[in-house]
Amino acid sequence: MSDEPRPLLQQSNGSQARFDMAKNMEGQKRKRVLVVGAGAAGMSCAHHLSNHPDKFDVTIVDAVDYCGGQAYSIPLKKEETGASWLNQGVQGGSYIFHHTMTMFARNGFWADPVKLQVSFGKGEQFWSNVYPTKLLEKHAGEVRRFRTMLSIVQALEIFFALMPIKILVKLFRFSAEFANVVTLPMVALFLGTGNYAPDVPTMMLERLCTSETYGMWYPPDKHSVASNLPPMIVFPNLSDFYDTWKKNLIKRGVTVRLSTEVTRVVRRDKNGVVVKIISRTPAKDGHNANSAWVPDDVEGSKADADAQETTEEYDEIVLCVLTDTAKRLLKETITGVESRVLGAAKFANDITVTHQDHEYMKRHYENFYSEELAVQKLNGKDMTSRCDFAKDNFKAMYLIRMYPQDLTKLEMCFDCTNYQAQFPPEVPFEKHVFQTIFLNNERDGKLWTMDEIDESKIIRKDWWHQLCHSYTHYLRVVPWMWLLQGKRHTRYAASWTLVNAHEVACISGISAAVDLGAAYPDDLERDKFAFLAFRLYYLLIYGKWYRRRATKKSREGEGAQWATGNQYGSTYNGPGVQTGTDRLIWRQEVEAGRSLEGF
């Protein structure tokens, strides 16, 4: 992004009124709210509470020395890659991410559009949404039956909803190769963390294929499973975005304390919440290692073991952390219901290796169009035009391979140069930057081929403690969150409350703020899809239906035009995304001297 001042999208129910209230709040009793975690959920919560400075005194803390949680950027050598930064952890999303893109706009940023191209499998087991391959020809009958299965599941969704995909494919008698090489990657692309794709609920697969609103593979192709190029968005420099957001929160009166870790919640009663806190030693890159208060750290870190705990009191606490972290913090005050619900979520330790080992990529993935693997006709339909398009335009962005020893276990990879918007349009393959993700260290580490990556080509390694989207999560965690929210002055906001996505994290933070007494923004209420998504989340996770406020009399005004596309307005068309210029982020980075014009 450029260094020029960015025009901010003002929140329609904030503006001057918020500052007028701030002048008059001296002497008033404000609710002291502690937000634990400065990722998307925590920042969204703090932001929307800060719209009411007369009601809330907001403090947000994080154990690391930056804001953004899993969403941040890392530096690159521009001369070797074409760009000077790379988004890590979170890279992009869908046009249904209305709240995410609105927060971009509120802070002067935007997302760029991209059409997603995938590469699943290797050699004879390779297939793609860009052109048809011999694998699909081999399973032509199962391809047709897959479309029939989706129709049946859609019609009888109530019966199939929480059935694990591994049971579904057996029920419809799909071959092991088709089930694992074709079906699982379609889900793992979005919900594959922890290598639990076989246990993902059937409803997720069905919605991804049949929903006009949420379906990345919509409409399903009876000839070749998936032939659309899903319209996606890629995010701006996330470290810049979150740093700007942090500064804007401080201007709005929020106290932001980084390298500050909550170690225990020692009291939750009618008088409020009492917590123990330590100060952390900031790491040079902001990524403080886990402290001695975090047990069973995968990297064996026990940092700041001599830090002294101090005591702080608040009226309310919002835990924007993972469930196992929440359970550990609440240990001294936890209830039986909280322990059962929070303890039911499954997590796995994954590692992302950012590298430039193009030989590893060629050895394990299909990165280019292959005349040998392409087919010109499939299930009676001529595919010549798709093959012709792929010859010149196939640029794999998201790649998945199955381990030959166990096809149910996957390795995922981004070709970031093809996917992210700050890179030049044409970069030699040996200059590409890749992120290979190895899943579930404890269970599947024996299958990993991480040691094959040339150590001299590795830019960075990052461990992630990731949610597993098992069907059990939707039986034992999500349906019962309403029993926990708001009890004993405690609320939970994070993507794990529903689906591991940046948008869900934003909605969860806004919901916590609303439940504390903040107003849902006027412009987002006029955005009918954003408002629908928020209301449904609030109903499911809090057991409450949010009544219209700004749109009681009229639904016209700022925000109404952001919801486009189908009847629900799911395609965002607001100021948080730009579609007028190809790779605008790259063009501005070139002007700022942070990206190359070309090689």
Look at residue 14 and tell me whether its pLDDT is greater than 60. Answer: no
> HSE on the CB side for 164, CA within 13 Å?
13
Cα 106 vs. chain centroid, distance in angstroms?
19
For 246-250, what is the mean pLDDT? 98
Radius of gyration of the chain (CA): 24
State the total domains in the chain. 1
By percentage, how much of the chain surpasses pLDDT 90? 90
pLDDT at residue 580, as a whole number:
86
Q: Is residue 276 part of a domain?
A: yes
Q: Is residue 366 part of a domain?
A: no
Look at residue 8 and tell me whether its pLDDT is greater than 90. Answer: no
Look at residue 193 and tell me whether its pLDDT is greater than 90. Answer: no
pLDDT at residue 599, as a whole number:
83
pLDDT digits (tens, 9 = 90+) for 540-564: 999 999 999 999 989 999 999 999 9
Task: Return d(Cα 558, Cα 8) in angstroms, integer.
Answer: 14
Its pTM stands at 0.94
- Give the Cα-Cα-Cα angle 467, 281, 311 (nearest 5 degrees): 80
Range in 12-21, 95-104, 298-307 with the lowest mean pLDDT: 12-21
21-37: burial string, b at 16+ Cβ within 10 Å, e else: eeeebeeeeebbbbbbb
pLDDT at residue 89, as a whole number:
85
pLDDT at residue 569, as a whole number:
95
Confidence of residue 18 (pLDDT cuts 50, 70, 90): very low
Q: Is residue 530 part of a domain?
A: no
Domain span including residue 340: 1-65+258-344+469-521
pLDDT at residue 11, as a whole number:
61
Q: Is residue 534 part of a domain?
A: no
Look at residue 2 and tell me whether its pLDDT is greater than 50. Answer: no
Q: Is residue 20 part of a domain?
A: yes
Q: Is residue 544 part of a domain?
A: no
Whether cis (ω within 30° of 0) applies to the bond prior to 219 is yes
Instruction: Enumerate the H helices of 394-501 as residue ranges.
Output: 416-419, 441-444, 473-476
For 554-578, what is the mean pLDDT? 95
Q: Is residue 48 part of a domain?
A: yes
CATH code (residue 299): 3.50.50.60
For 188-211, what is the mean pLDDT? 90
pLDDT digits (tens, 9 = 90+) for 23-42: 455 556 899 999 999 999 99
For 162-183, what is the mean pLDDT? 97
pLDDT at residue 7, as a whole number:
53
Which residue, 152, 126, 129, 154, is CA-closest to 139? 126
pLDDT at residue 161, as a whole number:
95
Look at residue 298 and tell me whether its pLDDT is greater than 90. Answer: no
pLDDT at residue 149, as a whole number:
97
Q: Is residue 330 part of a domain?
A: yes
Which residue, 225, 166, 215, is CA-closest to 190? 215
